[in-house]
Amino acid sequence: MPKLAQMGKHAHTLRVFIVASVPAAFIYAYMSGAESNGILTALAGAQFSAALVGHGLPAGVVICVILSSLIFGRVFCSALCPLGIFQELAGLAGRACGVRESGQNPAGSARTRRGASSPDPFEGSKGLVPLRGTGWIPVDLVYVIPLLVGLGIIFDISPLTTFLDPIAIFGRGIALLRAVKYEETPVIWIALPFFAILIAAFFTRGRFFCGFCPAGLTLGLFSSVAPFGISLSDGCVSCGLCEKKCTTRCVDSKNKRVDASRCVLCVSCVAACPGRFARYGMRAGAPSENGEASRRSFMTNAMRMSAWICGLVYLSGAGIAKTIARFAPNARKNTGGDMFLSGEEYGMDYVILPPGAVSAENFGRRCVGCLACVAACPVRVIKPNRTSHPSLVYTDDFCQFNCVECGIVCPTGAIRHLGVDEKHRTRIGISSLDFMKCVVKTKGESCGACAEVCPTRAVRMVPYTESGAAGLTKPEFDEEYCVGCGACFAVCPAVPNAFALRGVSAQTLTPGIRPTDDEGYPALPPADDFPF
């Protein structure tokens, strides 16, 4: 098949062109309006880490991604992770700009050589993760990351998930660009990890973060035993070109081995190999097949074991946390969520959370801060707050009564997908009216803007008989029916605003729309003729 062999030369270019559509579509969905919510729902919903944190092990996406890694290697990282692919593009841009990494030479550093001679793929460091496999550190330290995130999920220390989750890092980076586009006050610091990673990727070979990614490392455990993967076949002369191009430094050309746990199937090596010896297929030298396992030292086995334990903690963390949350929703206080959900920034006890967040407790536990809801909100009232999580701010608009878009796109289930009837009754906050500030009071003139927009008639206009002016009406507010949508606040013309909103610790159901009032209306003329 000479033709197919020739294809290999273009394998990497072809792949990059195809998969670049993933971050491109993500960015488009984040930057454009609500009409791209379908794309956003599909892309965010396919993210491994978000599905794991939000829905736990039983989620279909989680099972599919783990199984695919177990058989075909890290195809998810190769084809679906927007952060990974974006880093790769940044790395390519760096190469195009002539950036050469220090120590990027065919001979490699001393540490690289020592790593390369190790018999175990888990030990074979190529310098991507400096602490890894140097021989004298007893644990593969980088696996501390999935361990921490896993423990973070179990013990509800959500900042750990928030700051190490790849989709959240990516989402917050794009949210900054979005804020610039829509002339909103950008929360710069929440996007810093994204840009730091991009810069690192630019100056290294790309895929910088993949060596630290809790999801990627965990998937790597599965891909390390996968029957399919990249291998260097007989005929390879160890020229080192593949090693030079590898974006994750997982190729050891001298020993003709590829560390499948770190390989993200970027296929740079396939394209780089002049003799087409680096190829994707059944791996000839999988550790389990060639008897190397028995030759491993105790230390190597221990490291390998601890890596698996760390990965499993990460995987089970979500499952356990989800189970606990289901059976004892208020059993433990969320230790990290409060940090994100304090309403101090807005002068209230709690921020106003998107409809379907259930409670500050639930939201803090599940939201990773990917800000897909910010991108999905058609009227842009969901905004990232200074602590990186989304909350509702009603300065320009208000939460639309019939809209449940944020719950549809949320990939972690932090915002439940409410039915429209349920949405109509879900109280996300509570308004209050200070009539002394109302223009009807201060100016003695008709207004009614609040009652006009109030979807549940919690605010209604009643005759303002005290004023003595005929036909003048004043607003009356009934807290019982208020859903906290902020419509009254958003439209109130009074300065200072006659309405004030506050968040609630748990979203509850209101009785619905307030029954109509039949008093205070003029009698209708007879129905059978014109009254004039």
Partner 1 sequence: MERREFLKKSAALGVGAGLLFLPKSLRGLSRLADAASYPDLVAVRGGTPETMFDRGIKSIGGMDRFVKRGQKVLLKPNMSWDSTPDGAANTSPGLVAAVVKHCLDAGAAKVVVMDHSIEFWKNSLQNSGVHAAATSAGAIYAPAESEGYYQNVAVNGLRLKEAMIHEAVLECDVLISIPVLKHHGGAGVSIAAKNLMGCVWNRRTYHSDGLQSCVADFLMARKPDLSIVDADKVITKNGPRGGSPSDIVEMNSLLISRDIVAIDTAASMMLGHKPGEIEHIRLAAEAGFGRMDLSKLNIERIKI
Would you tell me which residues interact with partner 1 (CB under 8 A)?
A: 34-35, 378-379, 400-403, 439, 443, 445-449, 451-455, 457, 460-461, 470-471, 473, 491, 493-495, 513, 515-518, 521-525, 527, 530-532
> Which H or E element spans position 4?
helix 2-19
Q: Which amino acid is at 411?
A: P
Q: Which CB atom, from 352 or from 450, has the smaller least distance to partner 1?
A: 450
Chain-centre distance for alpha carbon 36: 17
Smallest separation, CB 399 to partner 1 (Å):
10
How is residue 97 written in tokens?
């700009």
Q: Please give the span between the terminal C-alpha atoms of the chain, in angstroms, as a whole number.
A: 91
Round to whole Å and give the CA distance between 179 and 38: 21
The smaller minimum CB distance to partner 1, of residues 234 and 529, is found at: 529
Looking up tokens 């984040």 gives 30
Q: Which residue in 305, 389, 314 sits closest to 354, CA to CA?
A: 389
User: 263 is written with which tokens?
Assistant: 């390989």
Taking the least distance from each CB to partner 1, the nearer of 10 and 181 is: 181
Buried b (16+ CB within 10 A) or exposed e, 420-454: eeebbbbbbbbbebeeebbbbbeeeeebbbbbebb
- The nearer residue to partner 1, 457 or 502, going by C-beta atoms, is 457
Residue closer to partner 1 (CB basis): 278 or 393: 393
Q: Which is nearer to partner 1, 93 or 379 (CB)?
A: 379
State the minimum distance, in angstroms, from the CB of residue 462 to partner 1.
Answer: 9
Q: How far is the CB of 457 from partner 1 (least distance, A)?
A: 6
Closest listed residue to residue 439, CA positions, set 430, 428, 452, 448? 448
Residue whose CB is less far from partner 1, 285 or 378: 378
Query: Rounded distance, CA 434 to CA 421, Å?
Result: 30
**Closest approach of partner 1 to the CB of residue 498, in Å:** 11
Which of 317, 392, 401, 402 has its CA nearest to residue 357? Answer: 392
User: Least distance (Å) from partner 1 to the CB of residue 402?
Assistant: 5
Closest CB 371 distance from partner 1, rounded Å: 20
Give yes or no for a contact between 419 and 500, defined as CB atoms under 8 angstroms apart: no
Contact between residue 45 and residue 372 where contact means Cβ atoms under 8 Å apart: no
SS3 assignment, position 383: strand
Q: Phi, psi (5° rounding) for residue 243?
A: -60, -35
Nearer to partner 1, 449 or 501 (CB): 449
Nearer to partner 1, 7 or 513 (CB): 513
- CB of 327 or CB of 530, closer to partner 1: 530
Q: Using alpha carbons, select from 344, 331, 354, 420 the residue that is nearest to residue 387.
A: 344
Kindly report the backbone phi and psi dihedral angles of residue 300, in degrees, each rounded to the nearest multiple of 5, phi listed first. -60, -45
In whole angstroms, how close is the CB of 403 to partner 1 at the nearest point? 7
Interior CA angle at 97 toward 94 and 103, to 5°? 60
Shortest distance (Å) from residue 456 CB to partner 1: 8
Measured from the CB atom, the residue of 61 and 403 that comes closer to partner 1 is: 403
CB of 433 to partner 1, least distance (A): 14
Q: Which residue has the tokens 């979500």?
A: 318
- Strand 278-282 relative to strand 228-232, pairing: antiparallel
Q: How far is the CB of 481 from partner 1 (least distance, A)?
A: 12
Please state the closest distance from residue 471 (CB atom) to partner 1, in A.
6
